[in-house]
Chain A
């Protein structure tokens, strides 16, 4: 079986300790999480988690079913196979001098990213997109010297009217 990245979307009750229960389950069953993002959903009292897990189809199905067993988890779907929209937000603090600043701004503009902070020795770039886009931008900015990076991890929804 081939090992690939899977995007799991979970609707969970907004109660203390839920994140711990989910994370504990991954650790306990020896499943790898690449990223986990959590925030409010359209339902009051419920949060939506997007988990990127690495494994073969059977392993990921097993983790999905184990997650479903958690009392505070209302629903879990593996949306990898279907059509989905995925986004990630990254903040990147790049070294910048008077001579490099304009080149950085050009790259940022090509990526439809934006500069959200400027300091004497650096600029901070905000970018949203899928992981490939964020990775490409990071690759280009690396030459200027990256001071700090903060990424949210993937969030995802299925495309179309189905919820």
Chain B
């Protein structure tokens, strides 16, 4: 029996075990939506903006480790997905984005709501397709899911003209893929692994740089064994948080621009860096010319193009983290590194970056710490971008694996709410806290309607400081405290939540924090807390842009820092 393109799409999605689709309809996807009632296995979540659909699919993907699916109509629907697709691409999240396209006869005629979305998304997708023949649709979907979910994951877009959705053909889901140009190297080269092991065995001051690759590969046990066997101190990129217990004696916390003093000192003084599933992003390395000057570098990554891209590498090992670490654990010997670890402990006490300063004000660090205490670390933390993100990254102790979702590479404000929605749908048993900034929250605030319509029980903590906080911090430190256009007039978020039938509470004082968090946790559905935090609180340490990792600034270092670095923080 023949099926329409729309039916073939739905059948193919079911073959790929898709359960949830985030999207909004429009003219050029109407045939697809019209067939949804025939496929009750596919749950469609109606979002309020296509950016929300893409971020929700991304949050779902990161929470479940399988491709998130989003759908939008042609033209503006498709272009609204772009931010979310770019975000998934930068952070290697598997996603399949489906867009409607105008009918084939009018492609290229500047038809109503026509946009060249495959052209637009070439640099922000792992691959994309314009399906011009219904006979190719099933195979395209199969390829798209394979590409999105294997190797270094990423987004794949499928653009389907409206008339292809209506055209009929036999539905045959292919068994085999024909992708001669797509190679995934999953096992590391044994000779490279031996060389890496030799370096690790002889290193005296090693440091591990743990990245998101460990989370993607779900190599938590292998990583822990690796680190404990050779007694390797661990630092994380931001997206590498929650791959190793944050309360472990070998854990130094996050490295980089807002990394802990201890982590940054250790990296800069290391004689060997073992980079595991990370890409030497500039926010992690700071100035690469002065980065870890005495260290040899082992770089383990599944993407060969990451080797040597930003930092020269001595021993590359290309492969899947889980497989490479399993092999590496056989080759490395037990080590203790007593002297090096005691030096690190000295830095830890010299730069107690995790301490929260004494204050009667409501500090965002304190709020995050209380969310940690209330959940005992057993919660999925989804953040926005900016100060709220850094406070969450630094002051929530990730004691359990795979509990942190944040937009690292692209840094799109407004990620938090839709991504938290997607994450909660992907892991319904988990407590999901959405840590939002008051600026970013208003970029996707309309998804509160989706949350209510679909009954998605996310707990929302708005870190309301009345500023675009991170930008304000830069203006304070590097632009002579000239707060140009960072002050926000905000609506009453509790009333906004109420209008969306979401209970909420405003918190202005420290003693109200714990009861409010408890109330949110007791509430069976979504809940919003509007935390009126100290407006001009900064996230420290900070490595000023262009500086090297050891030149981090934190208030306790003021005099010494300026003397040592020769730079006055206000001079930037």
> Do A71 and B182 touch (CB < 8 A)?
yes
Decide yes or no: A68 and B305 within 8 Å by CB, A17-B118, A24-B122 being known contacts. yes
Report the Cα distance A67→B11, complex, angstroms. Answer: 33
- Contact residues on B (Cβ < 8 Å of other chain), bracket: 10 to 19
| A162 within 8 Å of B (CB atoms) | no
| A94 within 8 Å of B (CB atoms) | no
Report the Cα distance A73→B180, complex, angstroms. Answer: 8
B residues less than 8 Å from A62 (CB atoms): 305, 308-309
Decide yes or no: A20 and B180 within 8 Å by CB, A65-B305, A66-B305, A71-B147 being known contacts. no
> Do B119 and A20 touch (CB < 8 A)?
yes
| B179 within 8 Å of A (CB atoms) | yes
B residues at A contact (CB < 8 Å)? 118-119, 122-123, 126-127, 130, 147, 179-183, 303-305, 307-309
> Do A71 and B126 touch (CB < 8 A)?
yes
Within 10-34 of A, Cβ neighbours of B (below 8 Å) are at: 12-13, 16-17, 20-21, 24-25, 28
Report the Cα distance A129→B569, complex, angstroms. Answer: 60
- In the complex, number of A-B residue pairs with CB atoms less than 8 Å apart: 41
A residues less than 8 Å from B130 (CB atoms): 16-17
Question: Can you give 14 contacting A-B residue pairs, CB < 8 Å?
Answer: A13-B181, A17-B118, A20-B122, A24-B122, A28-B123, A62-B309, A66-B305, A68-B304, A68-B305, A69-B303, A70-B181, A71-B126, A71-B147, A74-B180
B residues less than 8 Å from A75 (CB atoms): 181
Report the Cα distance A68→B304, complex, angstroms. Answer: 9
| A88 within 8 Å of B (CB atoms) | no
Q: How far is the CB of B516 from chain A (nearest CB, A)?
A: 46
Report the Cα distance A21→B129, complex, angstroms. Answer: 12
> Do A21 and B182 touch (CB < 8 A)?
no
4 interchain residue pairs of minimum CB distance:
A65-B305, A71-B127, A74-B181, A28-B123
| A7 within 8 Å of B (CB atoms) | no
B residues less than 8 Å from A21 (CB atoms): 122
A residues at B contact (CB < 8 Å)? 12-13, 16-17, 20-21, 24-25, 28, 58, 61-62, 65-66, 68-75
Among residues of A, the one whose C-beta sits closest to the C-beta of B156 is: A71
* Candidates A17, A58, A71; contact of B181 at CB < 8 Å: A71
Among residues of B, the one whose C-beta sits closest to the C-beta of A43 is: B180
> Do B179 and A65 touch (CB < 8 A)?
no
A residues less than 8 Å from B309 (CB atoms): 62
Report the Cα distance A69→B304, complex, angstroms. Answer: 9
Q: How far is the CB of B117 from chain A (nearest CB, A)?
A: 12
A residues less than 8 Å from B180 (CB atoms): 13, 74
Report the Cα distance A17→B128, complex, angstroms. Answer: 10
B residues less than 8 Å from A28 (CB atoms): 123
B residues less than 8 Å from A65 (CB atoms): 304-305, 307
> Do B181 and A24 touch (CB < 8 A)?
no
Report the Cα distance A72→B181, complex, angstroms. Answer: 5
> Do A24 and B147 touch (CB < 8 A)?
no
A residues less than 8 Å from B122 (CB atoms): 17, 20-21, 24
Among residues of A, the one whose C-beta sits closest to the C-beta of B127 is: A71
A residues less than 8 Å from B179 (CB atoms): 71
Report the Cα distance A91→B147, complex, angstroms. Answer: 43
> Do A73 and B181 touch (CB < 8 A)?
yes
A residues less than 8 Å from B123 (CB atoms): 24-25, 28
Residue of A16, A28, A65 with highest tally of chain B CB at under 10 A: A65
